[in-house]
Structure 1
């Protein structure tokens, strides 16, 4: 690929659809360019904002074939994240559009979040914190601990006292860089045995990418086959663990606990998922709003990878290529 040339009256137009996750890094390009950046972009404005774009930058805002067909100047879609499963890469290839991404930028943060989830779920950290701080009827009251003298009874419905790290069997579904990093952390805190995929054991950590082969990878059948003390942790993508089945498993006490950083529909809230029903609570469940990736090092990595990716493509030496265009 030759260095991209651009007439002085037609500079490269770089459009970033969302900067709310990370600010754009400064770019150094050998050809004239202009940047249009937006904190966020509603669906109705994606096509208009990309109508004259040469390079589109997005994190989770979808750029569909219907939108691409309205963008005659589009040459590159830069995914400001690792996952590209939501993008129709075959269509991009058919249109000669390059797709680049930022792989592995959040490995440390997501793996540490997974481990934090394990302790939160196994030790009921959030539940017990809430039990001590909750206000009843708007008034400060003594609370459950003062009334009962102990809250160890909170584990009675999930098989009794929680397992310690040395008693755990950890099954990791997905064994790329993230899976290997999670394995290292689990071994580092003394977990008894770590296995990769397939085993329906005590603690399951899900870190694979979502695609047609992984949708509903863990459903009712798999959850019913697990031991009562099992904990499910999902730091991958929503939909890999079937949400209705997981809610049923937790409510029915088939497994001890679950924690997830991702939902099938995001942003999520009450009524958008079986895990967050409008008029009840799913027990023994910890949810965070897709922030496992967020860390100072991740932000540094994202800026560096995006800068490198765009500058390398303009220089005719593309890197982190998902789809090779024309």
Structure 2
């Protein structure tokens, strides 16, 4: 099989991609611009992509493609209607990053809640050495115990977050973005009720027509002034202009985002110019990317290819026929 990896840099340079060599002739590209796609896939049978878009405009010039392996769970960068018309199989990998995302969820919360950067800077600046008392209460924080944690999107990741939140003594409520999730272990509420009641709101939902712009300025006005918003779902679920305004007006206690509507972030994104910068924490879409998660991702892609080659395809999300 002739295989190509279009955006290997998104998998990290600390993982071994030579595992694909036993499957065929492999071409590896660190990154691929839209205008480079056709030349790189036109004679390939298997294409591995994380975020590079594959659709009619480039796939029609690649008649040999039989399998597209998405190095992620979401397949929104693939035109599934076209691949189905061409009988091209599309596989993804689900569940590989659950533990990584859950861990990052709590890391982001504690960064906002405990202000470790502030206290570390206070000590290292020499101010603590000059203090007349043993402690410093410049950034008071509150405990999770007894608080309400609202989860938007109670899928695999949302449920894992809910379980840990309960261990901290939180009451967990959730909003089902599909309207179909009825988990008996937690109290399901409408979005407005969740926003009004929750001390922490964490988003673990996919981006679709129901969730785009789900949280905008009017919804943020419903939240408590000390409440924290965490988005580890997808950018576009939270309206970034409305969030910037809400933070500067003190409508919420703070927000942490690992995902943005445009990635990398636009230089003119309003979140980059907010006045209350200490109330906003942004990471560059890394919640999924623990080393263990990325190793698992690569192993699962190898298994998807091997299964396809043996005529027993697995994790197929788009298959013609």
Same fold, judged at TM 0.5 (above)? yes
Could you tell me which residue of structure 2 aligns to residue 256 of structure 1? Answer: 253
Matched, 1:233 2:213: no
Matched, 1:185 2:164: yes
Report the Cα offset of residue 94 of structure 1.
2.4
Could you tell me which residue of structure 1 aligns to residue 105 of structure 2? Answer: 114
Report the Cα offset of residue 211 of structure 1.
1.6
Could you tell me which residue of structure 2 aligns to residue 309 of structure 1? Answer: 304
Report the Cα offset of residue 245 of structure 1.
0.9
Distance 1:144 1:253 in 2: 29
Asked if structure 2 preserves the Cα contact closer than 8 Å seen for 1:247 and 1:282, the reply is: no
**What CA deviation, in whole Å up to 9, does each residue of 1:297-326 have, x standing for no partner?**
212211221011011011110101111134
Asked if structure 1 preserves the Cα contact closer than 8 Å seen for 2:20 and 2:26, the reply is: no
Asked if structure 2 preserves the Cα contact closer than 8 Å seen for 1:85 and 1:211, the reply is: no
Distance 2:137 2:318 in 1: 53
Distance 1:245 1:91 in 2: 36
Could you tell me which residue of structure 2 aligns to residue 16 of structure 1? Answer: 5
Matched, 1:166 2:145: yes
Could you tell me which residue of structure 1 aligns to residue 281 of structure 2? Answer: 286
Asked if structure 2 preserves the Cα contact closer than 8 Å seen for 1:250 and 1:283, the reply is: no
Could you tell me which residue of structure 1 aligns to residue 172 of structure 2? Answer: 194
Distance 2:316 2:155 in 1: 18
Matched, 1:152 2:137: yes
Matched, 1:268 2:262: no
Report the Cα offset of residue 162 of structure 1.
2.9
When residues 143 and 307 of structure 1 are mapped into structure 2, their CA distance, relative to the original with a 3 A threshold, is same
- Over the aligned positions, Cα root-mean-square deviation in angstroms equals 2.4
Distance 2:210 2:111 in 1: 29
Report the Cα offset of residue 209 of structure 1.
1.0
**What CA deviation, in whole Å up to 9, does each residue of 1:140-174 have, x standing for no partner?**
x65699689876344xxxxxx43201132101111
When residues 272 and 311 of structure 1 are mapped into structure 2, their CA distance, relative to the original with a 3 A threshold, is farther
Distance 1:56 1:274 in 2: 36
Could you tell me which residue of structure 1 aligns to residue 209 of structure 2? Answer: 212
5+ unaligned residues in a row in structure 1: which ranges? 1-11, 134-140, 155-160
Could you tell me which residue of structure 2 aligns to residue 48 of structure 1? Answer: 39
Counterpart selection for 1:94 from 85, 88, 91: 85
Distance 2:127 2:21 in 1: 59
Distance 1:129 1:65 in 2: 52
Could you tell me which residue of structure 2 aligns to residue 5 of structure 1? Answer: none
Matched, 1:247 2:240: no
Task: Describe the SS at the equivalent of 2:19.
Answer: coil
Task: Describe the SS at the equivalent of 2:308.
Answer: helix
Asked if structure 2 preserves the Cα contact closer than 8 Å seen for 1:167 and 1:191, the reply is: yes
- Equivalences, count: 297
5+ unaligned residues in a row in structure 2: which ranges? 176-190
Extract structure 1 runs of 4+ deviating beyond 4 A.
130-133, 141-151
Distance 1:296 1:97 in 2: 30
TM-score, normalization by structure 2: 0.84
**What CA deviation, in whole Å up to 9, does each residue of 1:245-277 have, x standing for no partner?**
1111111100001101111111226x2422113
Q: Which has the higher contact order (CA 8 A, sep 6+)?
A: 1
Report the Cα offset of residue 128 of structure 1.
4.0
Could you tell me which residue of structure 1 aligns to residue 185 of structure 2? Answer: none
Task: Describe the SS at the equivalent of 2:256.
Answer: strand
**What CA deviation, in whole Å up to 9, does each residue of 1:24-51 have, x standing for no partner?**
252487xx83111112222221221111
